């Protein structure tokens, strides 16, 4: 077509395609449009024959209408392919996003335990020895409660070892690695549940990492214990935390002297 177009500019060349069955399809529409644009150069066009994709052969009486119709059908077909392709891609993207979101804590747990240079997989054994009796997860707003109540009543009075992030995390180490190590090296994870705890990114991160630890490294054994330091409505709790409440894996801090005696006895029994 390029060569003939150049000849058309310098000569009076005429072309006769009579008795040649032209292919009328999306693949040849460019050629048909070229013929139409130079129709004065093609002789006896009314005798040209055209074979369509469905196998039908017809006389090409109106080249312009035929070309326009083919272009319209091809454009619609291309649009359909693009729409279907985009739809399939979007569906796959949504499906993958849903799966990633559903298993986001599992993926994060696997990532951080692999990232931790101190991580070693430990077989599930009932007599396994841990560095700490419990890792205490709490908001900084409850720091005084931990220092003034937990350390004297658990560590000093019962000779138990707690992992307190402000005291026991390794300086300079990534906080997520510190959290993962602390949970993995502790027999239990105790969450001091307050509204500040629920609003804290790292507190929720610690809770979910402890939940994944129970599932993937402790053979499904429950290692999380909730201490409700404030009165929290059930509707304000994450669903996974509500499951622990339904399993009675929690205790409420009484905030009175007589109730505190029973409270600390329960904590000692849980961590012992």
- Residues 272 and 252: their CA atoms lie apart, in Å, by 19
* Domains recognised in the chain with CATH numbers: 2-80 (no CATH), 115-119+128-271 (3.40.50.10140)
- Residues 183 and 190: their CA atoms lie apart, in Å, by 10
Are 213 and 189 in contact by the 8 Å Cβ rule? The answer is: yes
* Distance separating the N- and C-terminal Cα atoms of the chain: 89
Query: Mapping DSSP to helix (H, G, I), strand (E, B) and coil, where does residue 24 land?
Result: strand
What is the helix (H) or strand (E) element at residue 132, kind and residue range? strand 132-137
Task: Give the number of residues written for the chain.
Answer: 272
pTM over 0.85: no
Tens of each residue's pLDDT in the chain, 272 residues: 899 999 988 999 999 988 888 888 888 888 988 888 888 888 887 788 888 877 888 777 777 888 888 878 777 666 777 888 888 999 999 998 888 877 777 777 777 666 655 444 444 444 468 899 999 999 999 999 999 999 999 988 888 999 999 999 988 888 988 999 999 999 999 999 999 999 999 999 999 999 888 888 777 787 899 999 999 888 888 888 888 888 877 899 998 877 888 899 999 888 87
């Amino acid at each position: 077509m390029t060569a003939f177009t150049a000849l058309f500019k310098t000569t009076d060349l005429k072309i006769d395609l009579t008795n040649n069955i032209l292919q009328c399809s999306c693949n040849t529409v460019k050629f048909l449009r070229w013929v139409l644009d130079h129709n004065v150069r093609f002789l006896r066009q009314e005798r040209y024959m055209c074979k369509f994709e469905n196998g039908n052969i017809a006389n090409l009486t109106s080249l312009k209408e035929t070309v326009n119709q083919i272009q319209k059908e091809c454009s619609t077909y291309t649009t359909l392919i693009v729409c279907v392709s985009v739809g399939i891609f979007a569906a796959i993207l949504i499906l993958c996003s849903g799966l990633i979101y559903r298993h986001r804590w599992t993926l994060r747990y696997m990532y951080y335990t692999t990232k931790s240079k101190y991580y070693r997989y430990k077989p599930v054994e009932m007599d396994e020895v841990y560095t700490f009796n419990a890792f205490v997860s709490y908001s900084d707003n409850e720091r005084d409660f931990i220092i003034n109540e937990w350390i004297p009543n658990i560590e000093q009075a019962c000779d138990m070892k707690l992992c307190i992030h402000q005291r026991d995390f390794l300086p300079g180490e990534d906080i997520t690695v510190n959290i993962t190590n602390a949970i993995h090296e502790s027999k239990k994870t105790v969450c001091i549940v307050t509204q500040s705890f629920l609003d804290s990114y790292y507190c929720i991160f610690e809770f979910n990492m402890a939940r994944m630890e129970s599932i993937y490294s402790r053979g499904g054994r429950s290692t999380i214990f909730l201490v409700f330091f404030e009165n929290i409505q059930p509707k304000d709790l994450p669903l996974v935390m509500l499951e622990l409440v339904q399993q009675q894996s929690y205790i409420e801090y009484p905030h009175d002297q007589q109730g505190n005696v029973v409270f600390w006895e329960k904590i000692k029994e849980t961590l012992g």
